[in-house]
């Protein structure tokens, strides 16, 4: 094995020379920015809770409830990223042994079922919001529908992204289940 085969970081002068690659955030989807904002709000809330509890010895009662709701929002908005990348948990073992036509049909069925599932989740979230009406949070005097609204928006974003995934699979003629080594970026 040749040690010098990789990039050279130690210069002839004996000094360490390394340069970072330019960071390109232009391909970052909107839901990633929203999830990041919710995550930072969660982090700041938990830090405030820690500070008031252990430094001031007077815990802010609202922080635990708000942190819980921010975590829910982060999960549901962040799950949209998983749908867009098509990297949620999946079993592709059987697809290796199926005839090509059957695996293609099963892959399309999975894509359609995902769309139906997220569509139903949007409808059920809306129905839940209607049943809650003016129900308030426990500690803070805000409507619980804010939390369910974020959940519904997360499901709606997953619903839209599922159509996008179906379109990508349809155009290229196979899905990730059929070829697990591929990614959504393979076109």
What residue ranges do the domains of the chain occupy? 30-172
What span, in angstroms and rounded, lies between the C-alpha atoms of 51 and 34?
26
- Find the DSSP H helices in 27-99: 30-50, 62-85
* R_g of the chain, CA atoms, integer Å: 23
Identify whether the C-beta of residue 110 lies closer than 8 Å to the C-beta of residue 175: yes
Average per-residue pLDDT for the chain: 86
What pLDDT tens digit does each residue of the chain (187 aa) get?
Answer: 555 555 667 777 777 777 778 888 888 888 899 999 999 999 999 999 999 999 988 888 889 999 999 999 999 999 999 898 887 777 777 777 888 888 888 889 989 999 999 999 999 999 999 998 889 988 888 888 999 999 999 999 999 999 999 998 888 887 777 776 766 665 5
Q: Which of 79, 85, 81 is nearest to 185 (CA)?
A: 85
Specify the pLDDT at position 34: 92
Specify the pLDDT at position 20: 77
What span, in angstroms and rounded, lies between the C-alpha atoms of 70 and 79?
14
CA dihedral sign of residues 133, 142, 73, 150 = positive
What span, in angstroms and rounded, lies between the C-alpha atoms of 108 and 177?
10
Q: Which of 66, 64, 65, 59 is nearest to 41 (CA)?
A: 66
Q: Which two tokens stand for residue 12?
A: 């002839």
3-state helix, strand, coil in the chain (%, to 5): 65, 0, 35
Specify the pLDDT at position 6: 59
Specify the pLDDT at position 172: 86
CB atoms inside a 10 Å sphere around CB 68: 15
Specify the pLDDT at position 72: 94
Specify the pLDDT at position 137: 86
Note the pTM of the prediction, 2 decimals: 0.79
Q: Which two tokens stand for residue 50?
A: 């820690």
């Amino acid at each position: 094995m040749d040690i010098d085969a990789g990039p050279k970081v130690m210069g002839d002068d004996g000094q360490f020379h390394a340069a970072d690659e330019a960071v390109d955030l232009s391909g970052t989807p909107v839901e990633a920015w929203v999830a990041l904002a919710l995550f930072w709000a969660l982090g700041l809330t938990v830090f405030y809770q820690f500070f008031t509890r252990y430094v001031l010895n007077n815990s802010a009662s609202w922080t635990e409830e708000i942190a819980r709701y921010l975590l829910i929002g982060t999960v549901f908005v962040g799950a949209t990223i998983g749908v867009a990348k098509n990297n949620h948990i999946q079993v592709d073992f059987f697809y290796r042994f199926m005839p090509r036509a059957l695996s293609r049909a099963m892959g399309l069925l999975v894509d359609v079922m995902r769309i139906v599932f997220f569509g139903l989740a949007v409808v059920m979230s809306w129905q839940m919001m209607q049943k809650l009406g003016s129900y308030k949070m426990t500690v803070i005097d805000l409507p619980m529908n804010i939390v369910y609204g974020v959940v519904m928006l997360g499901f709606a974003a997953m619903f839209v992204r599922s159509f996008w995934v179906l379109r990508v699979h349809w155009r290229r003629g196979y899905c990730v289940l059929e070829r697990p080594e591929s990614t959504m970026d393979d076109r």
